[in-house]
Structure 1
Amino acid sequence: MNTGTKDFINQWLLKYQTSVFRYERISAIVASTLSIVFVIFEYGFYLEQTDEHFIRNIVPVLFIIYISNYALRTVFTNYRLEFIKSTWFEGAFLSFITLLGLFHFFVGFNIDREVNQVYQHVVYAALTFLVMIEITKVSVLISEYKVKPSTTFIFSFIILILFGAFCLMLPKATIGESSLNFLDALFTSVSASCVTGLAVVDTGQYFSEQGQLVILLLAQLGGIGIVSFATFFATFMSQGVSLKHKTIIQDVLSSEDLSSATGLLRKVILLTLGIETIGAIAIFFAWEDSLQFNSFTQKVLYSIFHSVSAFCNAGFSLFPDSLNTSITALDTTRFDTGIIDLRHMYGLHMVIGIIIIFGSFGFTTIEEIFSPAKIKDRLKNPWKKYSIGTSISLYSTIILILVGMITVFFLEIDSLRQDRSFVESIIASFFQSVTTRTAGFNSMDFGSMKPPTILVMIFLMFIGAAPGSTGGGIKSSTFYLLLLSSIGIIRGQERIVVRKRTISDENIKRSYSIFMFALIYNLLALFILSITELENPKIELLPLIFEQISAFGTAGLSMGITSELSSIGKVVIILSMYIGRVGTLTLALALSSTVNTNSYQYPEAHVMVG
């Protein structure tokens, strides 16, 4: 093709570029909307056979639209080679879908029914993935709107929660004919999205496989943050990451450097998926032979569910009483034969406990400890110290776990030694201490624990996990800085120093702000709950305090009163789970107006304190 002909074609393409791109955007919106509707109808409703055939005949047309749109963007863009290189991920995925569709068109009718069913699941999964790609393209335009990063972060959770509640209300999300009412669906969605684990219904018995999958996805997206996943996909598709996206990711991951936030995010998500995969494999082999799964697939799915739930500190379990379950198969609809005794599966407890610890470390800590580059660097220089943030996360986690373990062991020794050996009692105490800080699993009955043990558990839940983790609470680093600052004030120190590094006044003020917001909110919530719930003879004050702090700390533990809460009580707990996840200070910054700082300073005033 000579230069003149090439220039003529390019000019002709440029002439219609705006119109074509407008059509491409409109068609993409229509295709994505129809894709969402079809996926919801296919997996959420019981359809007539004619309706199923109608939807499945339309689905290939949606794929054709997606493929055609990509082809149009490739042809009408100004720099085609650069466009193909920058969108290689989307192009490769669409190419795979095209080959799969052609294979099924020519060969699929000769494949047996079960393989065709698997193919249909793959088709809808691919359709969902394409919708996620389109949502990602929209999300990167977030910088064009004058909205605070903190506001964007908290509203992303609201959108996720409402969509999750809608999905859990669908007929196919539950077993039987009755659907979940809105308040209970909202409660469950908030609990999953905010990785708490409190439940008003039995997750394993009440929800179908579709409902359990929704809960699992909510926990995964809520654990890292839906904006984080959108940014992750944007980096793969080279859509560009806005400054506002980077600010949100920096806050979510507690990254020190704004410029490296997106790079850290990619490492963190890949490490997260890697740890969850290894965890699922470890859990798979930790199930004892006494637990007889109905099929290999069920065993795999249960392993994946509990691995994700543990790492995200979500605390959801598919067993009636979490890891404290001790029943026969006759007492459950999920198992056909055998005894379901998880109380004494101590290998399983240790595996899940370790996964929980990884999830509570914080993403920056995980990246610094487990990324291949950092491990290689550590082998070359074994005496190199971890960063101050990682050190605080590690030391505070170890100390708080030991405090909880020793407390549970010595205060509950009588109940522990009834059916456990000394070593088994140590493991049970360790596991309960680990899960109390934010995870939500339980291998002991909290309703029968002594009040001093419960008070220590409340203290641990209020502190929560490390910053930048999937857990809630005021965070271990906040408590550490408050402790150092208080000791420093008593000693008359002008500044707080850790490992020859001065902790900034901004960090100290932020810690005190988080603590005060958390304290005031929990007192206010408990005041409302004491009015609405204590008329119920089944609810006492200590279990109510435990429930509220568990919700705020996204710990997900309960003394058995969650299902007994009134409608107002459930709303209060919903708000507590949400505020505990997004963070009190983040919520305050989102709701506050901008204050102009002044360079002048008023004379100091003396106020009597103490």
Structure 2
Amino acid sequence: MRRGLSQFMTPFRIIIIAYIAAMALISFFLYLPVTHKPGVNMSYMDALFTSVSAVSVTGLTTIEVAETFNYFGIFFIALAIQLGGIGIMTLGTFVWMLFGRRINLSQRMLIMVDHNQYQFSGMVKLMRGILLTALAIEAVGALVLGTYYIQYFDSIGEAYYQGAFGALSAFTNAGLDVTGNSLIPFANDYYVQFVTVLLIIAGAIGFPVLMEVREYLRSKQDNFRFSLFTKVTVSTYAVVFVIGIIGILLLERGYYFAGLSWHETFFQTMFTSATARSAGLSVLEVSDFTIPTILFISGLMIIGASPSSVGGGIRTTTLAVMFLTIRSFALGKSDVKVFGREVHPEDKQKAFIVLSFFAVGLFGAVLSIAAIERGNQAVEFSDIIFETSSAFGTCGLGTGITSSLSDPSLMILMMLMLIGRVGILVFLFSVKRKDTKSHYKYPTERMIIG
């Protein structure tokens, strides 16, 4: 019995179960009246959805966080965000080390799966570096924003409270806020927007990139070489970020941005492009955009952040590998080369699988929610596309329809948020029963494609 259980509990399934358990536990605390403000009545579905959204660092909610939870409830939401943002295994590694326990082989395997790594060596060192770097960035962000917020709030304590939660939400790309209105109150404060964008990018660019940058700054070697992953990730993130700015600007130039000054237009466009990738914070009402912009932002949310980061989506490297593969095929080449290196064939296969699964999953979710909500006058089809893209990409931007959805639709969104957080490959590997080796091969035969 125990042997059968050990065979069933693969590292991929353990990671998924760990996140589900965390979501269930946090939902229990959020459902308790002691975490609510006086006079608040909350259903368990609302508590569960908020918990899933927080642990998956998405940001979609069926309730107003600031109006529903007291400081005790906000503490559990912040804990869930930290847990989901940095990763369960990163915090677990810290706890193991805190109690002086050795990190054994099975635990290193879980760490490797949770952060989508390929090798065991240096895993504990990587987790320690990720934790310390993340906490340092969050602390600096809290100090910078909290000090600046003193001019906005009645007390110093409230200013630093808002600054700390804002820095945590921005760095982890959680999208939740305690202002009650996201960052819309700071729509004309470019300092707050710029600092928040830096925190969003720091969390979404990927922990391996941050570790390499830290190593580069510490290294005294003149011939330090960044990995192919870092080069592709940073360049792709930058290109999509700029395309996002240009696309939103062109689509809303004569509509939402009509009448705004050039600096208001630029900063709101820049912030929207950054937050649409995975953060979910906003300085404007997304629902005021036209449908073409809604669909364009949905595409940005589908792309998402970088692998081994706090964000979701198909990830930047998937997009880059698919684009490079198509380019090589169009040029009549069978290999994919970039930055003086050749992309491994298995990575090309993974990129195709991730993109295909995401497309099928997103289509299925949109179709299911559209069928469930067909009689709901408050829900438009474009809103459904936007909401499902936001959930699957763990972004958190919304057009305001989340609270209007029925429970079955909310369950679909929660499933998307869970898969988006653990990663599509981890989810697919968790379905696999066991490793099977083929001892024979069939004759190869060509098929007509396209």
Q: TM-score, normalised by structure 1?
A: 0.71
Deviation at 1:414, TM superposition (A): 3.6
Matched residue, 1:387: 227
> What is the distance in 2 between the residues matched to 1:505 and 1:287?
50
Matched residue, 1:97: none
**Structure 2 residue identity aligned to 1:441:** L
Partner SS, residue 287 of structure 1: helix
For residues 161-189 of structure 1, the C-alpha deviation after alignment (integer angstroms, 9 at most, x for no partner) is 00010000111211124442111111000
Partner SS, residue 342 of structure 2: strand
Q: Which moved more, 1:510-519 or 1:278-287?
A: 278-287
**Structure 1 residue identity aligned to 2:115:** L
Deviation at 1:418, TM superposition (A): 5.2
Deviation at 1:249, TM superposition (A): 1.7
* Number of equivalent positions: 445
Q: Which moved more, 1:586-595 or 1:436-445?
A: 586-595
The answer to whether the Cα contact below 8 Å between 2:354 and 2:424 also exists between their aligned partners in 1 is: yes
RMSD: 1.7
Question: Within the alignment, does 1:594 sit opposite 2:438 as a pair?
Answer: no
Matched residue, 1:530: 370
- 1:342 counterpart (176, 181, 186): 186
The answer to whether the Cα contact below 8 Å between 1:195 and 1:312 also exists between their aligned partners in 2 is: yes
Listed as ranges, the matches of 1:374-523 within 5 Å are 374-377=216-219, 380-381=221-222, 384-415=224-255, 417=257, 420-523=260-363
Matched residue, 2:195: 351
**Structure 1 residue identity aligned to 2:299:** F
Matched residue, 1:296: 156
Q: Which has the higher helix share?
A: 1
Matched residue, 1:323: 183
Deviation at 1:480, TM superposition (A): 0.7
The answer to whether the Cα contact below 8 Å between 2:142 and 2:167 also exists between their aligned partners in 1 is: yes
Matched residue, 1:220: 82
Show structure 2 runs of 5+ residues with no match.
none
Matched residue, 2:385: 545
Deviation at 1:380, TM superposition (A): 4.3
Matched residue, 1:101: none
Matched residue, 1:201: 63
The answer to whether the Cα contact below 8 Å between 2:139 and 2:164 also exists between their aligned partners in 1 is: yes
The answer to whether the Cα contact below 8 Å between 2:46 and 2:62 also exists between their aligned partners in 1 is: yes
Distance 1:582 1:477, change over 3 A: same
Deviation at 1:486, TM superposition (A): 1.7
The answer to whether the Cα contact below 8 Å between 1:253 and 1:362 also exists between their aligned partners in 2 is: no
**Structure 1 residue identity aligned to 2:190:** Y
The answer to whether the Cα contact below 8 Å between 1:254 and 1:364 also exists between their aligned partners in 2 is: no
> What is the distance in 1 between the residues matched to 2:339 and 2:232?
11
Matched residue, 1:257: 119
Deviation at 1:288, TM superposition (A): 7.1
Listed as ranges, the matches of 1:272-287 within 5 Å are 272-287=134-149
Partner SS, residue 376 of structure 2: coil
> What is the distance in 1 between the residues matched to 2:377 and 2:256?
29
Distance 1:555 1:235, change over 3 A: same
> What is the distance in 2 between the residues matched to 1:498 and 1:599?
35
**Structure 2 residue identity aligned to 1:319:** T
Listed as ranges, the matches of 1:568-587 within 5 Å are 568-587=408-427
Deviation at 1:402, TM superposition (A): 0.5
For residues 193-224 of structure 1, the C-alpha deviation after alignment (integer angstroms, 9 at most, x for no partner) is 00000011111111111111111110000112
The answer to whether the Cα contact below 8 Å between 2:16 and 2:427 also exists between their aligned partners in 1 is: yes
> What is the distance in 2 between the residues matched to 1:557 and 1:443?
11
The answer to whether the Cα contact below 8 Å between 1:286 and 1:351 also exists between their aligned partners in 2 is: no
The answer to whether the Cα contact below 8 Å between 2:276 and 2:297 also exists between their aligned partners in 1 is: yes
For residues 332-354 of structure 1, the C-alpha deviation after alignment (integer angstroms, 9 at most, x for no partner) is xxxxxxxxx32212210111111
Partner SS, residue 437 of structure 1: helix
The answer to whether the Cα contact below 8 Å between 1:221 and 1:229 also exists between their aligned partners in 2 is: yes
Deviation at 1:415, TM superposition (A): 4.8
> What is the distance in 2 between the residues matched to 1:254 and 1:586?
8
Question: Within the alignment, does 1:176 sit opposite 2:20 as a pair?
Answer: no
Question: Within the alignment, does 1:240 sit opposite 2:102 as a pair?
Answer: yes
The answer to whether the Cα contact below 8 Å between 2:11 and 2:113 also exists between their aligned partners in 1 is: no
**Structure 2 residue identity aligned to 1:445:** E
The answer to whether the Cα contact below 8 Å between 1:170 and 1:179 also exists between their aligned partners in 2 is: no
> What is the distance in 2 between the residues matched to 1:169 and 1:301?
23
> What is the distance in 1 between the residues matched to 2:255 and 2:147?
29
> What is the distance in 1 between the residues matched to 2:341 and 2:94?
33
The answer to whether the Cα contact below 8 Å between 1:288 and 1:345 also exists between their aligned partners in 2 is: no
Question: Within the alignment, does 1:164 sit opposite 2:22 as a pair?
Answer: no
Q: Which structure exhibits the higher relative contact order, with contacts defined as CA atoms closer than 8 Å and separated by 6 or more residues? A: 2
Identity over aligned pairs, percent: 29
Partner SS, residue 195 of structure 1: coil
The answer to whether the Cα contact below 8 Å between 2:304 and 2:313 also exists between their aligned partners in 1 is: yes
Deviation at 1:286, TM superposition (A): 3.5
Q: Which moved more, 1:176-185 or 1:430-439?
A: 176-185
> What is the distance in 2 between the residues matched to 1:441 and 1:300?
19
Deviation at 1:483, TM superposition (A): 1.0
> What is the distance in 2 between the residues matched to 1:603 and 1:595?
23
Partner SS, residue 274 of structure 1: helix
For residues 524-565 of structure 1, the C-alpha deviation after alignment (integer angstroms, 9 at most, x for no partner) is 111110111131111110011000010000000001101111
> What is the distance in 2 between the residues matched to 1:182 and 1:192?
15
Partner SS, residue 337 of structure 2: strand
> What is the distance in 2 between the residues matched to 1:258 and 1:492?
37
**Structure 2 residue identity aligned to 1:362:** G
Distance 1:518 1:446, change over 3 A: same
Deviation at 1:254, TM superposition (A): 3.6
> What is the distance in 2 between the residues matched to 1:232 and 1:295?
34
Q: TM-score, normalised by structure 2?
A: 0.95
Partner SS, residue 183 of structure 2: helix
Deviation at 1:595, TM superposition (A): 4.0
For residues 3-48 of structure 1, the C-alpha deviation after alignment (integer angstroms, 9 at most, x for no partner) is xxxxxxxxxxxxxxxxxxxxxxxxxxxxxxxxxxxxxxxxxxxxxx
- 1:189 counterpart (24, 40, 51): 51
> What is the distance in 2 between the residues matched to 1:558 and 1:550?
7
Matched residue, 1:88: none
